[in-house]
């Protein structure tokens, strides 16, 4: 069975390292250290520039293959619910994540968000059941559609920042979305499993 691409290989660990190639971790370069992390030969604590607050974020992203659900590759839309989900009792100023309403995309996002107690709003825009990559190809994830679904959800009414975070794969619609709404549109990572690193020390481990 051919599995759908969760884009785990697109997690940019290097971006979250100092990139000074100081070699204090025992690797010659930060890039070599990243390879050691992926192979399980290194730990985040091995880098003196990574704060303890980020150890958990690194570990979650490194364990992505075990966290993210696997599903068969298909070009047939698999629609899930459209609308807003509240994760961990968000407040008005909590981050607003936007994605598509493919049922597998929803499973992926809720799986990774299940690794934190941090609060989020999660909005599934109507992409006709396409995954984000296919929604861009079939023009189902547009600036107009995202704007419409965000406004219909009412999620930004109490949010003074008027800020949303869209998937990295949807970067192509970010400028049009900013211009048409005047919102602060942040382009997030391509892989959902990079979100812990993207939010850094704001990605709190669940209470035990």
Comparing 12-21, 49-58, 67-76, 93-102, which segment has the lowest mean pLDDT?
67-76
Structural domain includes residue 74: no
Residue 97 and residue 153 share a domain: yes
pLDDT at residue 75 tops 80: no
Give residue 24's pLDDT. Answer: 96
Residue 95 and residue 28 share a domain: no
Summarised one tens digit per residue, pLDDT across range 138-158 is 999 999 999 999 999 999 998
Structural domain includes residue 3: no
Structural domain includes residue 101: yes
Give residue 163's pLDDT. Answer: 97
Structural domain includes residue 148: yes
Residue 176 and residue 144 share a domain: yes
**CATH code for the domain in which residue 42 is found:** 1.10.15.40
Structural domain includes residue 5: no
CA torsion angle 7 8 14 15 (round to 10): 50
Residue 88 and residue 175 share a domain: yes
Give residue 73's pLDDT. Answer: 87
Beta bridge partners of 163: 184
If one counts the domains in the chain, the total is 2
Mean pLDDT of the chain: 96
Summarised one tens digit per residue, pLDDT across range 162-189 is 999 999 999 999 999 999 999 999 999 9
pLDDT at residue 127 tops 90: yes
Structural domain includes residue 46: yes
Structural domain harbouring 40: 12-67
The sheet with strand 83-87 has its strands ordered as: 83-87, 120-125, 96-100, 163-166, 184-187
Residue 129 and residue 38 share a domain: no
Task: Give the model's confidence band at 93: pLDDT under 50 very low, under 70 low, under 90 confident, else very high.
Answer: very high
Structural domain includes residue 128: yes
Residue 155 and residue 129 share a domain: yes
Q: What one-character-per-residue DSSP string does 31-83 give?
A: HHHHHHHHHTS--GGGSTTS-GGGHHHHHHHHTHHHHS---B--SS--B---E
Q: Are 68 and 192 in contact (CB under 8 A)?
A: yes
Residue 180 and residue 154 share a domain: yes
Provide mean pLDDT across the span 6-24. Answer: 96
Residue 100 and residue 197 share a domain: yes
pLDDT at residue 57 tops 80: yes
Percentage of residues in the chain having pLDDT higher than 70: 100
Residue 106 and residue 57 share a domain: no
125 vs 115: CA distance, rounded Å = 23
Residue matched to tokens 């609060």? 119
């Amino acid at each position: 069975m051919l599995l759908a691409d969760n884009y785990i290989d697109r997690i940019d660990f290097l971006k979250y390292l100092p990139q000074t190639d100081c070699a204090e971790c025992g690797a010659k370069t930060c890039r070599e250290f990243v390879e050691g992390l992926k192979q399980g030969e290194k730990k985040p604590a091995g880098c003196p520039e990574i704060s303890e607050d980020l150890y958990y974020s690194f570990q979650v992203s490194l364990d992505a293959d075990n966290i993210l659900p696997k599903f068969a590759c298909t070009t047939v839309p698999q629609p899930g619910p459209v609308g807003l989900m509240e994760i961990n009792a968000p407040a008005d100023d909590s981050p607003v994540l936007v994605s598509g309403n493919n049922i597998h995309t929803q499973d992926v996002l809720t799986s990774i968000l299940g690794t934190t107690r941090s609060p989020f709003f999660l909005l599934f825009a109507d992409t006709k059941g396409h995954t984000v990559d296919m929604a861009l190809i079939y023009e189902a994830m547009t600036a107009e559609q995202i704007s419409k679904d965000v406004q219909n959800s009412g999620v930004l009414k109490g949010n003074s920042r008027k800020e949303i975070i869209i998937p990295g794969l949807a970067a192509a619609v970010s400028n049009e979305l900013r211009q048409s709404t005047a919102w602060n549109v942040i382009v997030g990572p391509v892989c959902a499993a990079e979100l812990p690193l993207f939010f850094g020390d704001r990605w709190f481990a669940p209470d035990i």
